[in-house]
Structure 1
Amino acid sequence: MLRSTVVSALASLLLIAPLVPAQAHPANPQGLQAQGGQARDPYSAPVRVPEVVGAGGVVSSIDPDASQIGVDVLRRGGNAVDAAVAVAAALGVTDPFSAGIGGGGFFLHYDARTRRVSTLDGRETAPASAGPDLFLENGKPIPFADVVTSGLSVGVPGTPRTWQRALQRWGTYSLDKALKPAEDLARRGFVVDGTFNRQVTENAARFADITSTRELYLPAPAVGSTFRNPDLADTYRELRRDGVSALYRGPIGRDLVDTVNRPPVDPAATRTVRPGRLTLADLRAYDAPQREPSRSRYRGLDVYGMAPPSAGGIAVGEALNILETTKLGDETPVQYLHRFLEASRLSFADRNRWVGDPGFADVPTRALLSQKFADSRACLISPTSVLTSPVAPGDPRHPSPCRTTGQPEVTPYEGTDTTHLTVADKWGNVVAYTLTIEQEGGSGIVVPGRGFLLNNELTDFSFTPVTPGVPDPNLPGPGKRPRSSMSPTIVLDHGKPVLALGSPGGASIITTVVQVLTQRLDRGLPLVTAIAAPRASQRNATSTQAEAVFLDTPEAAGLRALGHRFTSTAEIGAVTAVERLPDGRWRAAAETTRRGGGAARAVRPG
């Protein structure tokens, strides 16, 4: 399909997608009060609207309080960067088991004046003491679950530095001003929804073993109750007053380091919670560098993403390149999904072999994103059968049609609880920002008196080489950033924004972004429909992870007939996105049901 056809199809579809009715969360009929605040009268939670069209700027996040804060910033004259930082800080309050100042992320920014896309790498780093044996004891890997809930898995947080750098380079707000709404939200509280309650309940056993975490989150706050976090409010106030140096050089950092190295474990707990080896020098050395984005061409459009240490931009770009030569809009639903899954399988084979921290590994980014390399991989796909996983990687520097090289590598586990926000302002600036603390609840360790959870991002490193004898670019190292799958993405047409999106979901983030992009650009689905569609995620494994609703479709039966095998999961991802309409307005879109539904907001709806 030619670029003009894609843009024409978009122009016709952008104005006809129906709005999805808002869904409100129930009130709290018993007036229940969660830990961390005083009793108050019950009230309904803010409404969750998965789609809105409007002018003056739009915000899409997973949380209505956070999205409303972002729109308020835009309404008061702030730009997309100001709003994105304010939304991210608010998500640290309402979505603390997915993100917060104890974690990191990747910030993608489109500047409407220069028409340039830039990125900030806010990925966490390993301490200077880390080596390739970080997660080994007596020469053997420590059990994964033991590493998750430990100081050993905590990387230097990158989120506060990312906020500072973004505001300095592209924002108009000070950090003080940007964090004030989140501080107020943490102090006054918010209405607990089913996702928040579930996340606490499912982590209750390990939260109970950490005294500071137990004090803040247990017993699990009831749905409809009001949850307050005054310690986090005070922490935000300190960051507002003293800047991020309060964390990287000051008292917040000292408390953080002490918590990592001496986790506050209940003496009665039977869980082994290993200490970390983080230092104040590790915090002082941290930076969130500006990196060139990844870039690929798809149907005449420019697709920008995050370059290494994220594998997101490369894997999304390679999968799209593999699909470039197939007219997906003309394929049957089964053949479209078959090719999407096979392209994902191949891109993961190459991602696992070649992508790591570019400061420590020679990552052939340009070669991996070349159409020549993609064509050498695409010819492996048969319309009538399935590749056997794990598929061996290709050699991007010396691509040869239909040939693989080296040993196949499986995709290691990555925590799925992350969050993504997307913002556009009235000037046309766009932010796609994915941030995380890795596992649901991160390390499970709250910094005492500070109100935020620490990440367990270092578990994204390989514990040992994935394939013995094959170089692994993702082994731990001093100051090294673990590989990520976060995939904030911005699509441009001749330098102007068409679409921006991202998702949580660990390694499935990559496949989620590719699936939504191809359903929107190739299959012509309205954006909110593409986001709501049942998902499947193939990551170079013997079976494809798929949502239960996907497995009940006729397409799944057709894929099984081709040889695809599936494992069921409840949900994959939680997308937020924005797209520009031909008349200059914006559409913000989010999930209709996943995680209770997302929250789209516009400055001037309609």
Structure 2
Amino acid sequence: MKPFARPVLLCLLALFATPSFAAEPPAPASGSPQHPPGAAVASGHRLATEAGLQVLKEGGNAFDAAVAVSSTLAVVEPISSGLGGGGFFLLHDAKTGKDVMLDAREYAPESATPQQFLDKNGDLDRDRSVNGPWSAGIPGLPAALVELAGKHGRLPLKQSLAPAIRIATEGFPVYERMAKGYASRREVMERYPGTREVYLRNGRPIATGDVFKQPELAHTLALLGDKGFDGFYRGETARKLLAGVKQAGGRWTAQELAGYQVKERAPISFQYRDWKITTAPPPSSGGIALAEMLQILEGWDLAKLDDVQRTHLVVEAMRRAYRDRTFFLGDPDFVTIPQRVLTSPDYAMGLRATINPDKATPSDLLSGNPTPLEDDETTHFSIIDSEGNRVGATQTVNLLYGSGLIPKGTGVLLNDEMDDFALKPGTPNAFGVMGYEANAPKPGKRMLSSMTPTFMESPQRVTVLGTPGGSRIITMVLLGILGYDAGLDAQQVAALPRYHHQWLPDKIEAESGAFTPEVVAGLRKLGHTVDVPGDSAEGGRGSSHVWGNLQTVEWDLRGNVLRGGSDPRNPVGSAEVVAAPAN
């Protein structure tokens, strides 16, 4: 048995008899305000932030605003999310104190068996797994919008969708990232008549500065607003979706489309220092990984350590959590996940004991293979309203522009989330990584995700945060939590430099400027491989320049102040705070 595997295995076996635990809300500071002084919205696009604020001004709450922000992002960020995709919505009801996660992750259609993704030689068919109808799972986002409005909001769904319908009808300026993303996916997207009708202007692809109108998507949103669930999953839109998938060579059925259900799941909650952390449960891998990493790190006073030592310990916590992500996590409706064990502080204590503070642990001592990823092109938004309701939501279509397929007459760009399954165990997916049986596709099964919308509560502050970024989502949220714990405000947290380790490949990836040369040298001296942009010292090409698009809001109870933070890496993002209306 590998040297590291023995203590971890013994720890796992012992903990199956350990009682579960739940974090208690932190006691509020004496004299803390009962309600925020207004509302705060942070999202990846200014128009979506404005849509959320508009609905709040019309008498809606955070959940109505979430419908407005989510649907508007579906219009203005087609590279990242849309009605043809899915997401996770973490909700806090201020009146009841209840937290819940709406799981609107896509699921596998009955036709999408592993055999359908193999070529004649038995190898994984890359084109089929990421492009076109076979790559698409049954969408969940429209059902989530219906659920948010019907069970949690106070305005009619149609009213909250109105900003998105208006923007889809009138159009908005194409921004650089959107145009460049289309150029990189043009060959795939222009295979399909419905996509060409939306994205080509007299045979010319969209360009930066064009006014991009989507009347068919506006009509689809209007049907959703008028008829709710049936406006998308049955009737006119459903018929067009089914016809478009069939025309492109895929197979969906009316029964599985109409059978989609949003799942209400209990969030993962745990304590880190003075903070109660509430975050996403499976089929997101984020919450369990955060619980492991933060409870490992709680054994050290990170503020007293130098940059090299602190980064080393954070990386070692990342390494262990991502190893467990690979082997244990999948759709909880299909696989048994030892969640109580993996989120236990006793398990974290056992992992902490395996960390050498003076030397990197080679990942090959933590036997196994890499974990499935999702692409960077996801989106997140965070909301707090004047009543104290909160929403953290992360939504996606997976790759840039998803599958590239828009069924004619719908304006709906379908996801390519099937590639987030382990379509062929032991074979890398589009991102060069592998998965196993826990994440193998089955009809109705939801693919594993990294999306990690998160709440933080302490006697002094309440925050909401999240980000896109594929497998780096979890570590970006981790660094954001550590930033808030160190006393940073929302905008400082959104701007934090980022680094990442995911067990395999065994290297630290970092943004440009995240580490000084001295820190890089110190980490390498401890035995780490460090991959930074433009640096070939380790024989690599260096990682990408910048990552993610973190959006966060905070309520500072000490002065009853609201703040928003929007990632400066994204020039079209926006965080806005408005005062509560006078009584």
TM-score (normalised: structure 2)? 0.86
CA distance in 2, matches of 1:144, 1:297: 42
Query: Which amino acid letter does the alignment assign opposite residue 538 of structure 1?
Result: H
1:558 pairs with 2:522: yes
Q: 1:549 to 1:81 in 2, by over 3 A?
A: same
Deviation of 1:323 after TM superposition, in Å, equals: 0.8
1:246 pairs with 2:231: yes
1:76 pairs with 2:73: no
Deviation readout 1:501-532 (Å, 9 max, x if unpaired): 010011110111001111221x3333322221
Contact 1:349 1:391 (C-alpha < 8 Å) held by counterparts: no
CA distance in 2, matches of 1:414, 1:210: 24
SS class of match (1:97): coil
2:13 corresponds to: none
Contact 1:103 1:124 (C-alpha < 8 Å) held by counterparts: yes
Pick from 440, 453, 457 the counterpart of residue 488 of structure 1. 453
SS class of match (2:187): helix
CA distance in 2, matches of 1:422, 1:5: 21
Query: Which amino acid letter does the alignment assign opposite residue 346 of structure 1?
Result: R
1:106 pairs with 2:82: no
Q: 1:249 to 1:390 in 2, by over 3 A?
A: farther
2:398 corresponds to: 438
SS class of match (2:439): coil
CA distance in 1, matches of 2:72, 2:272: 34
Deviation readout 1:306-328 (Å, 9 max, x if unpaired): 11111111111111111111111
Contact 1:490 1:497 (C-alpha < 8 Å) held by counterparts: no
Pick from 560, 570, 582 the counterpart of residue 545 of structure 2. 570
1:533 corresponds to: 496
1:226 pairs with 2:211: yes
Pick from 458, 462, 478 the counterpart of residue 514 of structure 1. 478
Contact 1:551 1:568 (C-alpha < 8 Å) held by counterparts: no
Pick from 329, 333, 351 the counterpart of residue 325 of structure 2. 351
Contact 2:128 2:135 (C-alpha < 8 Å) held by counterparts: no
Pick from 373, 391, 394 the counterpart of residue 413 of structure 1. 373
CA distance in 2, matches of 1:571, 1:344: 19
Identity %: 36
SS class of match (1:203): helix
Deviation readout 1:399-418 (Å, 9 max, x if unpaired): xxxxxxxx412122322211
SS class of match (2:99): strand
Query: Which amino acid letter does the alignment assign opposite residue 384 of structure 2?
Result: A
CA distance in 2, matches of 1:471, 1:462: 6
Contact 1:491 1:499 (C-alpha < 8 Å) held by counterparts: yes
2:570 corresponds to: 595
> Which range is displaced more, 538-547 or 307-316?
538-547
Deviation of 1:464 after TM superposition, in Å, equals: 2.3
Deviation of 1:499 after TM superposition, in Å, equals: 1.1
Deviation of 1:259 after TM superposition, in Å, equals: 1.9
1:302 pairs with 2:276: yes
Deviation of 1:138 after TM superposition, in Å, equals: 4.4
2:16 corresponds to: none
Pick from 255, 276, 301 the counterpart of residue 240 of structure 2. 255
2:287 corresponds to: 313
Deviation of 1:115 after TM superposition, in Å, equals: 1.4
CA distance in 2, matches of 1:530, 1:467: 37
SS class of match (1:548): coil
CA distance in 1, matches of 2:160, 2:447: 29
Pick from 286, 296, 304 the counterpart of residue 322 of structure 1. 296
Deviation readout 1:285-336 (Å, 9 max, x if unpaired): 1100111111121113211111111111111111111111111111112222
CA distance in 1, matches of 2:134, 2:126: 11
Contact 2:223 2:232 (C-alpha < 8 Å) held by counterparts: no
> Which range is displaced more, 299-308 or 553-562?
553-562
Contact 1:149 1:443 (C-alpha < 8 Å) held by counterparts: yes
Deviation of 1:465 after TM superposition, in Å, equals: 2.5
CA distance in 1, matches of 2:436, 2:413: 33
SS class of match (1:454): coil
Paired residues for 1:101-250 under 5 Å: 101-138=83-120, 140-218=122-200, 219-250=204-235
1:38 corresponds to: none
Query: Which amino acid letter does the alignment assign opposite residue 76 of structure 1?
Result: E
SS class of match (1:133): helix
Q: 1:325 to 1:134 in 2, by over 3 A?
A: farther
1:422 corresponds to: 382
2:363 corresponds to: 389
Pick from 444, 464, 467 the counterpart of residue 479 of structure 1. 444
CA distance in 2, matches of 1:318, 1:575: 21
Query: Which amino acid letter does the alignment assign opposite residue 221 of structure 1?
Result: I
Deviation of 1:6 after TM superposition, in Å, equals: 13
SS class of match (2:451): coil
Query: Which amino acid letter does the alignment assign opposite residue 455 of structure 1?
Result: N
SS class of match (2:115): coil
Q: How many positions carry a matched residue from both structures? A: 532
Deviation readout 1:405-451 (Å, 9 max, x if unpaired): xx412122322211001011000000000111111110011121211
CA distance in 2, matches of 1:302, 1:227: 43
Q: 1:543 to 1:61 in 2, by over 3 A?
A: same
The RMSD of aligned alpha carbons is 2.5
Q: 1:291 to 1:587 in 2, by over 3 A?
A: same
CA distance in 2, matches of 1:194, 1:129: 37
SS class of match (2:39): strand
Paired residues for 1:455-470 under 5 Å: 455-466=415-426
Query: Which amino acid letter does the alignment assign opposite residue 241 of structure 2?
Result: L
Contact 1:96 1:452 (C-alpha < 8 Å) held by counterparts: no
Deviation of 1:561 after TM superposition, in Å, equals: 2.6
CA distance in 2, matches of 1:467, 1:214: 33
Query: Which amino acid letter does the alignment assign opposite residue 198 of structure 1?
Result: K
Deviation readout 1:146-189 (Å, 9 max, x if unpaired): 42112111111000111111222211122111111100011111
Q: 1:475 to 1:578 in 2, by over 3 A?
A: same
Q: 1:6 to 1:535 in 2, by over 3 A?
A: farther
Q: 1:391 to 1:76 in 2, by over 3 A?
A: farther
Contact 2:308 2:523 (C-alpha < 8 Å) held by counterparts: yes
2:579 corresponds to: 604
CA distance in 1, matches of 2:167, 2:37: 26
Deviation of 1:131 after TM superposition, in Å, equals: 3.3
2:539 corresponds to: none
Deviation of 1:95 after TM superposition, in Å, equals: 0.3
Deviation readout 1:9-67 (Å, 9 max, x if unpaired): xx9xxxxxxxxxxxxxxxxxxxxxxxxxxxxxxxxxxxxxxxxxx94201000100110
Contact 1:590 1:597 (C-alpha < 8 Å) held by counterparts: no
CA distance in 1, matches of 2:436, 2:229: 37
CA distance in 2, matches of 1:436, 1:4: 30
Contact 1:345 1:391 (C-alpha < 8 Å) held by counterparts: no
> Which consecutive aligned stretches of 4+ in structure 1 deviate over 6 angstroms post-superposition?
3-8
SS class of match (2:437): coil
Deviation of 1:341 after TM superposition, in Å, equals: 1.4
Query: Which amino acid letter does the alignment assign opposite residue 76 of structure 2?
Result: T
SS class of match (2:197): helix
CA distance in 1, matches of 2:436, 2:447: 15
Contact 2:225 2:231 (C-alpha < 8 Å) held by counterparts: no
Deviation of 1:384 after TM superposition, in Å, equals: 1.9
CA distance in 2, matches of 1:580, 1:213: 42
> Which range is displaced more, 232-241 or 101-110?
232-241
